Each structure stands twice: as structure tokens, then as C-alpha cells.
Amino acid sequence: MNQPADIPIPPDLSRRYGGSASGREWLASLPRVAGHCLDRWQLELDLAPGALPWHGHGAIVIPVRSRAGAAAGCLPGGSAGVLKIAYPHDEALVEPHALAVWNGKGAVRLLAHDAAAGALLLERLDGARSLQDEPMDVAVPVWGSLVRQLSVVPNGRAQWQEFGNVAARAEQWSDELPESWERLGRPFPRWLLEAALEVCQTRGAVGRRSGKDVLVHTDLHYLNVLARPGAVVPSTGSDQAGSEPAAGWAAIDPQPMVGEAEFAVAPLLWNRIRELPRADPHRGLQERCRDFSAAAGLDAEVARQWSLAREVENALWYASKPRHGGDLARSLWVSSTLAGRTLPELPAAHELPAPGEAAG
């Protein structure tokens, strides 16, 4: 019988999942599931004394190494990886399929997968180095290069049936957004809702017929791009003719869908807003959309449209949550600015909370 692994649970995960029966059940299962995976894949923990595992919003990520003297396993002898165990949810079910399609090109490499345990064995990246802390002169070409690598055209393999479709999501929003807007007391002007609906109606139809559908990482924000160990990050503005900007970087935590690659731009616009030019943040947001689109070979106008619709959908979700007033303001600022008519009653751009910050 597999012995439970002696792993400490990060306090943030305990707070996030300790409030429900299903969450507490998942937290209690982690030592047992980790022990099962360590034995199955001939691994041992690689945590320093007193150190906590890493974690995201919905998963624990445990540093591991192959066991000394182990027979051929999923990791070469002595090499490092991470064991990711996700809270059961739909996005976790499709993640291994996307990682298998990418096969380490532009994304973290999947080494093994236990569907029943909700566990992935992944190559180890540098969790302390993400695009969040890189200047835009570095972030833009790296992100664009990654998107080019990740934009794989669908083929006939069965795993592609696991992914949702962006155009179908847009058609669903065409029905859901107006209903939510009415139910929530019309939390923003009707013209902004109609701007999002126009995107859903045009991109939902055109996107399905366009023949340009690819696999899209729909949550490719700055924190979801990590450096590979030992990667050399070029200095800002350096000239690396002939080099691949994304060399040494990899995407993590995909929320994969099939559709137009421009759908991926939106998270770059609702993050790092405080770095927009203070003199004209509205123009700066539009320019950021164009810069990232150009770096990835995307259509900036299509990216603007999808980003507007995604932020209106986010705004309605935040409007349903009483403690997310700051997040609602941020989504309305981004969406209305992308529509060309920034709502006047909102806080200034540099006063908006970043995603994940406490907001009243």
C-alpha cells in the first residue's frame, strides 16, 4: 500500500478550500494522492526543510526528483520535476490533452499523467522568474513567440474533441450576457453590452467558418509564462537577430480552447494596467493590444474585439459577487476603453486593483 507523503499544505490553499466539504475532502486527500504518485513514478520529494510546495489558484505543485537508484521511470536519474495535483474542475480535465499536443514546444513538458488522481508530472520551471517582472520590451516578443508556437492547427486525433470552441462560446454569450445584465440590475450602460454582443455575433459566426482555428491558451497572462532553469533573459532592447525570443520560456496552466488565436490577447490587457502611460492610459491600452498582436502575427482589430467581449463577460461575473467591486471597475475600464468610450464614473486607470488584489 502506498504511504501518504509528508507534505505541508500552503496556508493559502487551506483558506481557499477549507470552507466547503468538497474542498476539505480534497485537502485531506493530498498526502495520499501524492504518496501514490511518488510510488507509481519512482519519485521522492525535493522540498527543503520548512519549505512549502508551490501552488496556483486550484492546484498544489510539489517539487520532486527521481529516486536514487530507481529503475527507468518518468524522470531521468536525479533530474527534477514537479508533481501538480489539481482540485477537481473542468479546466483540470483538459490541461493534459493540451500539454500533450504541445509536447514541450512553447509550453511546460508533460512527463506523465494520472487522470484518476488528477495529477500531472511536469518538467520543473523556474517559479521565481515569470514575464510579470520583465519589462515590456522583453515580455512582448517572448509572448508573441510563444503564441506562434502554441497555435497548433487541429487534426483528426481524438484528443481534439476534448477542447471547447471559442466561436461556440461566443454564441453562448449572445444568449447569456443580456440575461445576466438584466438580472444583475443593468450594472453598466446598454451600449457596452451591445458592443460585446456585436463581437459575439460576428466573431462567433466568422470564427467558425474562417479555417484559422488553432489551439488557444486562453489564460496566457504574464504570470503563466515561466523561465526554464538557466535561461538567459536578454537585456531590454537587445538585438538578438536570428534568435527565438521564447527560447528558455514556457507557458503553464493552460485553459485550452480551439478558435481564433486573437482570443488569447485579453489577459495581457487586464493585467499590469498601472504600467500604462499616466499621460494617456487609454491610448496606451490600445497600443499594448497592437504591440502584442503584432509580435504574435495576429490581427490587432480582432484581438481588440475579443478582449472587449471577454471583459464584458468578466464584468458581469464580478457584478454578481458583492466583494469584487474593484474587479468590476477594472473590467469596465478595460472593456469601455477598448470600445473607445471609457466610462467616466470609473476610477483612474492607475487606481484600479490588479487581479487578485483585495477589492471592496
CB 109, CB 254: distance < 8 Å: no
Cell digits of residue 192? 457596452
From first to last of its 360 residues, the chain has per-residue pLDDT tens of 567 778 899 999 999 999 999 999 999 999 999 999 999 999 999 998 889 999 888 899 999 999 876 655 677 666 899 999 999 887 788 999 999 999 999 999 999 999 988 999 999 999 889 999 999 999 999 999 999 999 999 987 888 989 999 999 999 999 999 999 999 999 999 999 999 999 999 998 755 555 789 999 999 999 999 999 876 655 544 444 446 788 899 999 999 999 999 999 999 999 999 999 999 999 999 999 999 999 999 999 999 999 999 999 999 999 999 888 899 999 999 999 999 999 999 999 999 999 987 554
Cα atoms in the 13 Å half-sphere on the side-chain side of 1: 3
Which long-range contacts (C-beta less than 8 Å, at least 24 apart) are formed by 187-194?
187/315, 187/316, 187/319, 187/328, 188/315, 188/332, 188/336, 188/343, 189/343, 191/339, 191/341, 192/312, 192/332, 192/335, 192/336, 192/339, 192/341, 192/343, 193/312
Chain position carrying cell 496606451: 284
In what helix (H) or strand (E) does residue 165 lie, and over which residues does it extend? strand 164-165
pTM, whole model, 2 decimals? Answer: 0.91
- DSSP state letters, 218-277: TT--GGGEEEPTTPPPPPTT---TT--TTTTEEE-S--EEEE-GGGGSHHHHSSSGGGS-
Ramachandran class of 69: left when φ > 0, alpha when ψ lies in -120 to 50, beta otherwise: left
Q: Which of 264, 270, 245, 286 is nearest to 137 (CA)?
A: 245
Task: Return d(Cα 47, Cα 54) in angstroms, integer.
Answer: 10
Q: What are phi and psi of 45, to 5 degrees?
A: -65, 150
Q: What are phi and psi of 71, to 5 degrees?
A: -65, 175
Q: List the domains of the chain with CATH numbers.
A: 11-124 (3.30.200.20), 128-351 (3.90.1200.10)
pLDDT for res 57: 83
pLDDT for res 71: 58
Chain position carrying cell 497592437: 290
pLDDT for res 156: 79
Q: How distant, in Å, are the alpha carbons of 55, 311, 343 from that of 103?
A: 23, 31, 43
pLDDT for res 26: 93
CB atoms within 10 A of CB 29: 15
Cell digits of residue 173? 454569450
Q: What angle do CA 327, 266, 169 make, to 5 degrees?
A: 95
What are 42's strand-pairing partners?
Answer: none
